Structure 1
Amino acid sequence: MKLKTLLALSLTAAPMMSWAHNIEVGHSLPSVMVASHGEVILDGDKTAYTDWKSEQLNGKVRIIQAIAGRKSSKKMNAPLMTAITAAKFSPDNYQTTTIINQDDSMWGTGSFVKSSAEDSKQEFSWSSIVVDEDGLVANTWDLAEESSAIIALDKMGKVLFVKEGALTEQEITDVLAKVKASL
């Protein structure tokens, strides 16, 4: 009997433990700065890095994809990224920001994660891409390892939507509707 009770309690608490971020809808994101490596910027046909702060997210409506430096994490919400591209939001009012936790990559793949981010910046120059070498964003926001978090913000930096893990088709529709309503 005790085993059944313990199992039931464990299963009930498991979702809370695995998705225990500290991001609240209607509030600003916890402040964080990434100095190692930081935001990928274009310098002619080359890429460079600059310090990045979460306060830089204000001013445009955004969808943030905070992902582990793993292919599986990138693929987790690829349908949302495809839907964002298809929506053709105005770059004057909207920007996608991808934050890659290089500290949460498979051993020995950190340089590949970094070069992949640089290639993505070349391909999607209008997007903001941040390479977080030490995992400061994931730690500050209490994000799950080996996952993908999607966070939508309004122009003032207030959270409109947040979820860790793969979004359902309905959640993708809901996120895009919230973004459109905030533009």
Structure 2
Amino acid sequence: MKHLLLLLSLLPAWAMALNVNTGGNLPSIDIDNAGELQLAGDDISYSAWSTQQLNGKVMLIQAMAGRTSAKELNAPMIEAVKQAKFGDDVYQTVTIVNLDDAIFGTSGFVKGKLKKNKKAFPKASFVLDKKGELFELWQLKAKSSAIILLDASGTVLFAKDGELNQQEIDQVIGLIEANI
């Protein structure tokens, strides 16, 4: 009986396993419920975005809840990328924010912060997922941050949902360097 209870208690964790596999491609999705932030002068607009756009460069995807705590989880990974100064012609960071997983009443703040980041880093790609559709499809944890690395053809080189440790950060940087 104890084993059955243990098994049942673990079931939700199995049901929410990351649906992104190293060596494969990302589950395909189109986001048109906001989408990618576009910068024209000082103005920001949104355009539909698709995983089909994720090729031609090595891409580091940070998919995260619309919460400061989620952003902080993998801030050291993003800082390591900034310090490495990879060329824009061979590398791109893509930040996808789940607005459906923001603290109640903070969605305006989250959108404003995303717009500010787009202006500060115009070469980076910022995507707003208002309904959390991508996060549901990829089975990403709530209140979390996932790091996914793709090669230039869109093959997943690394994927982890949750905070990366220093060894994993070094591994991702090494994979970027080996694939650009």
Counterpart for residue 72 of structure 2: 75
Measured against aligned partners, the alpha-carbon deviations of 1:35-65 in whole angstroms (never above 9, x if no partner) come to: 1110011011111111100110111101100
Pair 1:23 & 2:55 matched: no
The count of corresponding residues between Structure 1 and Structure 2 is 180
Letter in 1 for 2:154: G
Q: Which aligned segments of 4 or more residues in structure 1 are displaced greater than 2 angstroms?
A: 5-11, 13-19
Structure 1 unaligned runs (5+)? none
Counterpart for residue 64 of structure 1: 61
Q: Distance in 1 between matches of 2:95 and 2:11?
A: 27
Pair 1:171 & 2:171 matched: no
Residue among 52, 55, 59 paired with 1:55: 52
CA contact (8 A) 1:19 1:164 kept: no
Secondary structure in 2 matching 1:103: helix
Q: CA-atom RMSD, angstroms?
A: 1.6
Q: Distance in 2 between matches of 1:152 and 1:138?
A: 16
% identical aligned pairs: 44
Q: For residues 80-99 of structure 1, what are the structure 2 equivalents within 5 Å? A: 80-99=77-96
Letter in 2 for 1:103: D
Question: What's the TM-score, normalizing by structure 2?
Answer: 0.94
CA contact (8 A) 1:38 1:130 kept: yes
Q: Distance in 2 between matches of 1:147 and 1:18?
A: 16
Q: Distance in 1 between matches of 2:109 and 2:15?
A: 27
Counterpart for residue 104 of structure 1: 101
Q: Distance in 1 between matches of 2:13 and 2:168?
A: 19
Q: For residues 36-55 of structure 1, what are the structure 2 equivalents within 5 Å? A: 36-55=33-52
Question: What's the TM-score, normalizing by structure 1?
Answer: 0.93
